[in-house]
Amino acid sequence: MKLHLPGQKNLSYVVEVLCTVFQILGVITVASLPWTLNNYLLFKNSYVSGNVYYSMLVLLFLSGVCAFSILVQAKKILHDINKKDPFTFDTAKRIKYIAYWCLPIAVAYLVAIYFIPSAFVLLVGLTFLFLSACIFIISQLFYQAVNYKQENDLTI
């Protein structure tokens, strides 16, 4: 059974293309991270010690790599939606991978609170931890939906 969403075809294509654009911009940003972070701190007239600077670099690099991986999975999910076959075990598995890729970001920010004492760092860590749990639950719901879909396809 194929899924047809009237009026949504263009939106899913646009979001799929945006995933590609964000992937390219993300690679450029992560590759230029030492320069952009340094210029940002100079622009803000902020001085941070070497330990904090390197902690920020590691944290942002890890976040960028995880975000890139999340975008890869999201793009594959959107591609399945555009093929009009979103309810597959591959899609459920990709949603679960997104939840797993949120965990390193959460752990990194929660550990970084010791090196970068900021309420923002703690907030981002807790947000990604909560987001990971919610996305994992959604992946389990997707697995259940695929099972129901297969049973329904067999009975018709």
Lowest mean pLDDT segment, chosen from 34-38, 50-54, 119-123, 127-131: 50-54
Measured between alpha carbons, how far is 16 from 79 in angstroms, rounded to an integer?
A: 7
- The whole-number average pLDDT for the span 126-148 is 95
> Residue 5 contacts by C-beta under 8 Å, 6 or more apart in sequence?
12, 81
What pLDDT was estimated at residue 48? Answer: 78
Where in the chain are the domains?
9-155
Which tens digits make up the pLDDT trace of 63-92? 999 999 999 999 999 998 888 888 899 999
Q: For the segment 6-50, what is each residue's pLDDT rounded down to a tens digit? A: 445 678 889 999 999 999 999 999 999 999 988 888 888 777 778
Tell me which range, 37-41, 88-92, 96-100, 118-122, is most confidently predicted by mean pLDDT: 96-100
Are 37 and 48 contacting, i.e. CB atoms less than 8 angstroms apart? no
Tokens of residue 150, six digits: 């297969």
pTM for the full model? 0.84
Looking at residue 98, its pLDDT comes to 97
> What integer pLDDT is reported at residue 1 of this predicted model?
47
